[in-house]
Structure formats: C-alpha cells, structure tokens
Amino acid sequence: MSAELRRTIRSETDASRTVLEATLYSREAGFGEAPSRIIATAVSELTRNILKYAGTGELCLRKVKDFGRRGVEIEASDEGPGIRDCDAAMQDHYSSGGTLGLGLPGVKRMMDEFSLESAPGEGTRVTARKWI
Ligand SMILES: Nc1ncnc2c1ncn2[C@@H]1O[C@H](COP(=O)(O)OP(=O)(O)O)[C@@H](O)[C@H]1O
Ligand SMILES: [Mg+2]
C-alpha cells in the first residue's frame, strides 16, 4: 500500500467510498477491527462536514510514527467558508446546520490527538491522529 491515501470529497459516493477505504487502510496500518472502525467513523464525520459546510474538500490518510509508536493521521481540509468561533464549534451539540453537533467533539474524543484550524474565508483543516 502506498504511504498516503488522498481523496477528493465532493459527493456522498466519494464520502462512503473513502470511509470504507479508511477501515482497510487502518487495518493494514496495524489497527485491530474496533479501532479501525473508530477511525472510519471519524473519517465519516469529517467528510460529512466537508460536504455539508464546504461542498468540496480533501481527505487524506497517512501512516505516522513517533518515538517508535505507529499510528494513522487523518487530515480533512477544505476551502469553504471556515469557522468564525472554533471554541463554539467544539462544544457538544453546537451546530449551525441543525444537526446533532457531535461531529467535531466526537472526532476529538475518538482520536488521540486533534487540531482544528479554521477562520472565516480561510477554509478549514482538521488533523487527528490515533496511535496503535
Ligand atoms: N468543514 C467545515 N467548514 C465550515 N464549518 C464547519 C466545518 N465543519 C464543521 N463546521 C462548523 O462546526 C459546527 C460543528 O460541527 P459538528 O460538530 O460536526 O456538528 P454538525 O455537523 O452536526 O453541525 C458545524 O455546525 C459548523 O458550523
Ligand atoms: Mg458534523
């Protein structure tokens, strides 16, 4: 498997295919079945946000290493409208779209490391890592 999986997300089909690929990618990277499903769930939330709030964007998965630990990094990026108040967006049940508002805080809980970089007019980038 190549080191990196990079997918353009502009339709539900792109999103669901990428979620499936994320499960396989995580398995091949050495994760067990349950954590691989967790990583795929995080990918699902992030691709859903890209489609809903930005329309189109990119989802990238890569294997990472740090002091002998191995893991997977998810990077979801788009050039959509961005987020004015990132602290609010990270609160449980905050949604500007009338949905559950558990996507971003859920991804933060599911993964070991999480960062959200976004500003109005500057797009959004979420980077999250999970270690084996
Ligand atoms: N890629 C994005 N671009 C712009 N805004 C976003 C993006 N992802 C999340 N947001 C903002 O963060 C809020 C919280 O996201 P999330 O926790 O996934 O909940 P939900 O998707 O149910 O609204 C969204 O309602 C939206 O305002
Ligand atoms: Mg969401």
Q: Which residue has the tokens 């990026």?
A: 77
Domain count, the chain: 1
Instruction: Please name the residue whose Cα sits nearest to atom 9 of ligand 1.
Output: 49
Give the pLDDT score at 3: 85
Residue 32 makes CB contacts below 8 A (sequence gap 6+) with none
Rounded to an integer, what distance in angstroms lies between the CA atom of residue 125 and that of residue 132?
Answer: 23
- pLDDT tens-digit series, residues 98-111: 999 999 999 999 99
Asked whether 42 lines ligand 1 (CB < 6 A), one says no
Q: Taking the model in full, what pTM does it have?
A: 0.97
Q: What is the enclosing helix (H) or strand (E) of 76? A: strand 69-78
Asked whether 91 lines ligand 1 (CB < 6 A), one says no
- pLDDT tens-digit series, residues 79-96: 999 999 999 999 999 999
Share of the chain above pLDDT 70, in %: 98
pLDDT of 1 higher than 60: no
Among candidate residues 41, 106, 49, 127, the one with its CA nearest the CA of residue 82: 49
Residue 68 makes CB contacts below 8 A (sequence gap 6+) with none
pLDDT of 33 higher than 90: yes
Domain range spanning residue 26? 4-131
For the domain that residue 61 is a member of, what is the CATH number?
3.30.565.10
Instruction: Please name the residue whose Cα sits nearest to atom 18 of ligand 1.
Output: 103
Residue 23 Cα to chain centre, angstroms: 13
